[in-house]
Structure 1
């Protein structure tokens, strides 16, 4: 019986993954928006794909590299940790927050210069200051990429200047952005329009914060070889998406169009509520029924017009005693005949055995 249950569970999980794959193909085909990006993806907060275009094609990613730089730096520091800027970290080509040798900045000040001004010098200062060398820091970036399952990503430096072997994909960057936005420190900094550090003002390069309704963060990037790269996150009425475009000459407009279409067609629906209540008849108990409820809410990204089908697996009755917290069954949610998710049902109250007849 146990082996059969494992086989059934594996079949359900496979069908869930396959269903997400089919949804992505279908959603991409249904998108009416034409975009100019060489690679692109729109991903829901649960990791499901809403739209894609060459999303697994490895490319140069320019300063969107700094998403991983920021994540690794945040995990290795506290906001007020002092970091001394070494001479080799200054004068890096490209965008800069104009650090000077010997000055001391906090970790979060360097992160603000990294994510708002896209400072290549900030990337170097964080790398050397936190790990002792750029090489050690980049090794940690690649270790983190592997841990997140970013299969087509490799980092050679912390700033994103073109380098042989330095690459990622739209899909990997979307996964990375979802992870970054779960970090409160990162989310707070990337949402800032501007900041002032030691009387220097830095403006966020991400124009979507003002141009796109609900945009709550993102990272820009550009080199001549990589083209314009943009990773962003948008949330409206509790529904969140991330969007990635690589080598896209019209990235601002493309992100706005992709988000508008995604929010118009999809929603993060509460499929199962933990507030729902089920009553299961009890035999030989002090009470006639044992109340049960889902152990958690279940939300699914679905099309707004889509109907869900529910399978409630509950016993016809149970014998007393019943203990609160014990498994009572499960709810399986189907989309298009395929399993999309499930939630365990648990008893919410104790039911003692009846003393009558003893």
Structure 2
């Protein structure tokens, strides 16, 4: 009779395993490519700001002239290297700079913070030059900082020769590089606040009235949720534009280079991105890792196309016990993948002083957590099966499941 009961239980176990294998406990993954979208641009890119995922790109890595989109790099370098309250003095070189201008006069002084508004809202080439000379010691010194920043951000198809974007030999970037740069810059709260400003007033030491700068970026009034970033034009670069917009908790940025219908194309690409790549939470800070005494160290969000989230898997990677990160509390990281492509990671920690056992560490090091972290139902199923097998056969057989 005992043997019969074991056989019946075993049949139940096999039935449960069969259900799992055919997917009755999980949704069937269906991946549908988003509908195609086109623009009038010679090159274009669309990026999700939070994750840095490029959602759309055409001729995205082609080096091209970028006109005043250069000033995105100028602004973020100045913010990171300068002091906003500093008074910037206008040199003869800055006051005489050709092209778009906020009409600074020789020896005029203005705070770096206000000058950045003049740079980004009115595209002042005089402001760009004055900022570069102040922050970098010289225009050439500042350009060196710009190129160093490009290198640090991995902008492989970008090189800068000046801080303003007037056409110059060897001065170029690409749509993809500018998208990555913009996503980086928009994570800086000072930059983000400046580029979304529609109108800015600033003290004018030369007149009885204040400066009043209206943002040239028409997207701020044309598209609901628009919040940046920069216009550009030269006779060689033609019309260039970077725009950004936020819908819910998601911010997207669009780049177009040499586009005669950019206002329309940007609205089209933003709507396309929001409709086909909604931002979703993969894990939140403090979330326990299923079945283990570890917690996620930061919230991770990602824009999934239809059918992609069902392909999500994860893998634990532990760090050496003697490392500095380990001494500071980190125990490793979780890497997330769609198929075989890594899409992001987050550190993991031991919550409330919990300690990892040696068997757990050995299991994680061998990669046995792969495929379980994002499938709670499968982890629960595994635990249940272990318990059933232990009841039926004892510890040795159960331990090998």
Change (3 A) 1:37 1:296: same
1:109 is matched with: 114
Post-superposition Cα deviations, 1:191-236, rounded to whole Å, max 9, x if no partner, equal: 1101112212111111111111222110100011101001122221
Which of these residues, 186, 211, 221, is aligned with residue 191 of structure 2? 186
Alpha-carbon distance, 1:301 to partner? 1.8
Distance 1:149 1:108 in 2: 27
Task: Give CA deviations for 1:168-194 in whole Å, capped at 9, x if unaligned.
Answer: 100111111111111111111111101
SS in 2 for 1:158: coil
CA distance in 1, matches of 2:100, 2:238: 15
Structure 1 pair 269/107, CA: closer, same or farther in 2 (3 Å)?
same
CA distance in 2, matches of 1:32, 1:279: 38
- 1:177 paired residue among 174, 178, 182: 182
Give the helix-richer structure, 1 or 2: 2
Equivalent of 1:146 in 151, 160, 179: 151
- Alignment pair present for 1:250 and 2:261: yes
Secondary structure of residue in 2 paired with 1:159 = coil
Larger Rg: 2
> How far apart in 2 are the matches of 1:264 and 1:131?
42
Matches within 5 A, 1:220-299: 220-274=231-285, 276-277=287-288, 280=291, 292-299=294-301
Taking a change above 3 Å as real, the CA distance of residues 176 and 291 of structure 1, as seen in their structure-2 partners, is closer
2:351 is aligned, of 330, 348, 353, to: 348
- TM-score, scaled relative to structure 1: 0.78
Is 1:159 the counterpart of 2:169? The answer is no
- Distance in 1 of aligned mates of 2:100 and 2:289: 59
Closer/same/farther in 2, CA of residues 121 and 310 from structure 1, 3 Å limit: closer
**1:37 matches 2:41:** yes
Q: Secondary structure at the match of 2:278?
A: strand
Which range is displaced more, 301-310 or 242-251?
A: 301-310
Instruction: Identify the match of residue 203 of structure 1 among 214, 222, 226.
Output: 214
Q: Take 2:106 and 2:286, find their aligned partners in 1: how far apart are those partners?
A: 58
Q: Number of residues paired by the alignment?
A: 306
Shift of 1:275: 5.3
- What is the Cα deviation at residue 273 of structure 1? 3.2
Match of 1:302 in 2: 304
The residue aligned with 1:322 is none
Instruction: Give how far 1:239 is off.
Output: 1.2
Measured against aligned partners, the alpha-carbon deviations of 1:284-322 in whole angstroms (never above 9, x if no partner) come to xxxxxx8554333322221245433566779xxxxxxxx
C-alpha distance after superposition, 1:245-284 (max 9, x if no partner) = 000011111010000011001112111234544675xxxx
Larger strand proportion of the pair: 1
The residue that corresponds to 1:19 in the other structure is none
Q: 1:345: Cα distance to partner? A: 5.5
Question: Does the aligned pair in 1 maintain the 2:240–2:259 contact within 8 Å?
Answer: yes
Checking the alignment, whether the CA contact within 8 Å between 1:267 and 1:304 is kept in structure 2 is no
Distance of aligned partners of 1:302 and 1:95 in 2 relative to their CA distance in 1, 3 Å threshold:
same
Cα distance in 2 for partners of 1:137, 1:332 equals 37
Checking the alignment, whether the CA contact within 8 Å between 1:238 and 1:268 is kept in structure 2 is yes
For normalisation by structure 2, the TM-score amounts to 0.70
Q: 1:346: how far off?
A: 4.7
Gaps of 5+ in 1: 1-22, 281-289, 315-324, 353-358
Q: Check conservation: 2:293, 2:354, Cα contact below 8 A.
A: no
Indicate if the aligned counterparts of 2:313 and 2:338 stay in contact, CA closer than 8 A. Answer: no
Alignment root-mean-square deviation, CA:
2.6
Cα pair 2:286 2:297 within 8 Å, conserved: no
